[in-house]
Structure 1
């Protein structure tokens, strides 16, 4: 780490909880049909609309009507969504709680729909434990847009170089680095634990003690 860290910023998907729609569809319709579905339907674009604040059910059901051959499968993106956004990643949750137990503020910075984030909060207690959360659906813009990082800076009241951010996407990390944030590309919880220890935020075991 290049300097004293005053607050930690966490992505949510694939950092605190797994986001694996492909895995869900492989299980429910088989890999071959899943590949065809993802090739024929712009599910990523659909999901981005939700992450930018459009209605969760409305966007998905509208897409389903535009692709009647895949109507049931597309609607399942809404109806079985929590199964795609699962399970939690317990070790990262432990690290988050250890940081807060030590008095280190922890913020969320996530591309997430307004309604889907609220739903996830009812299933995952830790999503209610941040010192603050910047959610793309609330703002109408998403990572790696510089404005969403600026929103975190305002919320935290911490100089950019005193923020430590972890995310599983290199483009999101690059955007944070460009603002002067300290960054870590998340691949596994233990790698992040090592970074927190190196920054003096937690001990070598990743605990507050």
Structure 2
């Protein structure tokens, strides 16, 4: 028998909106090998995730510019052209989420996102205001897959973890939710998500 799910929690990046830092940098650093070196050694995922944890962009840029002064402008471009990294929403996923809300399901959002870029995203993608609420990592100083952020979200929105279903494109974050006592599914596309929800008795 499927677990009773009363709360559905969506990630945002690569679930509801597209994110790819290579998009502006394909223009800014045209050479593919050099661009990959830049992401591997300068503006790395580990560097960027700290903005999701709450570090200010000014501090993040200063740190890297001190290490790579010859790359100063390319480093500043990361925030400057962030809007190009999120060019569009995934219409099928958004429609699925909105359909769940309209059907009466309790839907919230839990995202690793820098606080200021989330404000920008919210302005561009109004559907982000449709769920009951959102926990933004950069605002609470915690990031997935830390168990603490799932606990913070559950406390903030009155969720019973055992009756909560989390949806994320990153398997490590799915595993973090499960470690926090939630149900969770790995997002690979809207059609697969529909089948996953059906497995919990939820029509989408």
Q: Secondary structure at the match of 2:35?
A: helix
Asked if structure 2 preserves the Cα contact closer than 8 Å seen for 1:15 and 1:167, the reply is yes
Q: How far apart, CA to CA, are the structure 1 residues paired with 2:120 and 2:48?
A: 15
Match of 2:83 in 1: 82
Match of 1:114 in 2: 115
Q: How far apart, CA to CA, are the structure 2 residues paired with 1:2 and 1:23?
A: 41
Listed as ranges, the gaps of 5+ residues in structure 1 are none
Shift of 1:40: 2.7
Match of 1:25 in 2: 25
Match of 2:175 in 1: 174
Asked if structure 1 preserves the Cα contact closer than 8 Å seen for 2:8 and 2:106, the reply is yes
Match of 1:184 in 2: 185
Asked if structure 2 preserves the Cα contact closer than 8 Å seen for 1:149 and 1:176, the reply is yes
Q: CA 1:59/1:45 → structure 2, altered by over 3 Å: closer, same or farther? A: farther
RMSD (Å), alpha carbons: 1.7
TM-score by length of structure 2 reads: 0.91
Listed as ranges, the gaps of 5+ residues in structure 2 are none
Alignment deviations for residues 76-129 of structure 1 (CA, whole Å, 9 cap, x no partner): 111110111232111111011001001111111111111111111111111122
Q: Secondary structure at the match of 1:144?
A: coil
Deviates more, 1:168-177 or 1:1-10: 1-10
Q: How far apart, CA to CA, are the structure 1 residues paired with 2:109 and 2:129?
A: 10
Q: 2:143 aligned with 1:142, yes or no? A: yes
